[in-house]
Amino acid sequence: DAMVIQNPRYQVTQFGKPVTLSCSQTLNHNVMYWYQQKSSQAPKLLFHYYDKDFNNEADTPDNFQSRRPNTSFCFLDIRSPGLGDAAMYLCATSRDRGGGETQYFGPGTRLLVL
Amino acid sequence: GQNIDQPTEMTATEGAIVQINCTYQTSGFNGLFWYQQHAGEAPTFLSYNVLDGLEEKGRFSSFLSRSKGYSYLLLKELQMKDSASYLCAVNDSWGKLQFGAGTQVVVTP
C-alpha cells in the first residue's frame, strides 16, 4: 500500500542534544510538509518542500531545519531541543500544491525532551 | 488574520447523530477539509468541500456555506470507534491548510 512512514514513532532526547526525525513516502508526491502538534492543539505547519523548493513558515524558529535529499525522503532536524519542543511531529504529503489537494499524513513521531 | 473555531468537546451515545460546527475567517479560501484523528495517531482524510452544499459519504456528511464562513460535519449512527478528534482545516490562498484545534467526540454506550 502507498503510504507515509515516519521513524521513529517515539523519540526521547536530552535538552540541547540534536535530534533528527525522518519521513518517507511511497506516493511519489511532489509536496512534503512538517507539522508540530502539541496536546489538544491544532497542527502547526513548520515548513514544506515543493519538489526541491524549501518553504519556511515565517514563525518557525531557526532551531528547526529540514532536508529533502530525494522525492521519497524528508528529514526534520532540531538543532538544540528545548522543553517546549516536546510535541507530536507529523509529516504529510500531497500530490501538488494548491487548492483542493488532499494531504496524507504519516503516523507521527512523538518527541520527549528530558 | 486566521481564525478557525470549533467546539472543544462533544458527547453522544452510540447510534445517535452528532453535528460538529466549524466557523472560519481566513486569508483566501480554496476549500475546507475534515480530518479524523484518533489519540496518538495521524489525521486521516474524511471530506473536502469547495462549493456550497452538502456532501454525503456513508455515515459522514459535510456541509459548507462560503458566504457564512461555516461548515459542519455530521456523524450518523455513531459507533464506539468514532470516538476521536475531528479537525476542520481551511485550504488558504497559498494552498496551505489552516487547522482548527479539533473537536473531541466521545461516544458512550
Nearest Cα of chain A lies from the Cα of B72 at a distance, in angstroms, of: 17
* Res A2 pLDDT > 70: no
What number is the average pLDDT over the span A3-23? 95
Question: In three state form, how does the secondary structure of chain B look?
Answer: CCEEECCCEEEEECCCCEEEEEEEECCCCCCEEEEEECCCCCCEEEEEECCCEEEEECCEEEEEECCCCEEEEEECCCCHHHCEEEEEEEECCCCCEEECCCEEEEEEC
Which burial class, exposed, middle or buried, applies to A15 when counting CB atoms under 10 A from its CB (0-12, 13-18, 19+)?
exposed
A97, A101, A104, A111: best mutation site toward chain B, by most B Cβ within 10 Å? A101
CA A97, CA B99: separation in Å to the nearest integer?
17
Distance CA B28, CA B98 (A): 11
Which tens digit of pLDDT belongs to each residue from B16-59? 999 999 999 987 889 999 999 998 888 999 999 999 999 999 99
B38 CA: distance to closest CA in chain A (Å): 10
Distance from CA of B59 to the nearest CA of A (A): 20
- List Cα–Cα distances, B59 to B23, B36, B39, in angstroms: 22, 14, 21
Chain A closest-CA separation from residue B85 CA (Å) = 9
The b-or-e profile of B57-79 (16+ CB within 10 A means b, else e) is: eeebbbbbeeeebebbbebeebe
Tell me what the mean pLDDT of segment B71-85 comes to. Answer: 97
Distance CA A45, CA A36 (A): 7
> CB-based contact (8 Å) between B43 and chain A?
yes
- Predicted confidence at residue A100, as pLDDT, reads 83
Cβ contact B91–A100 (<8 Å): yes
Average pLDDT, chain B: 93
Out of B30, B35, B42, closest to residue A100 by CB? B30
A111 touches chain B (CB under 8 A): no
Beta sheet of A19-25, edge-to-edge order = A4-7, A19-25, A73-78, A64-67
A65 in reach of chain B (CB within 8 A): no
CB contact under 8 A, A42 and B31: no
DSSP A17: -
- Catalogue the E-assigned strands of A14-70: 19-25, 31-37, 44-50, 53-56, 64-67
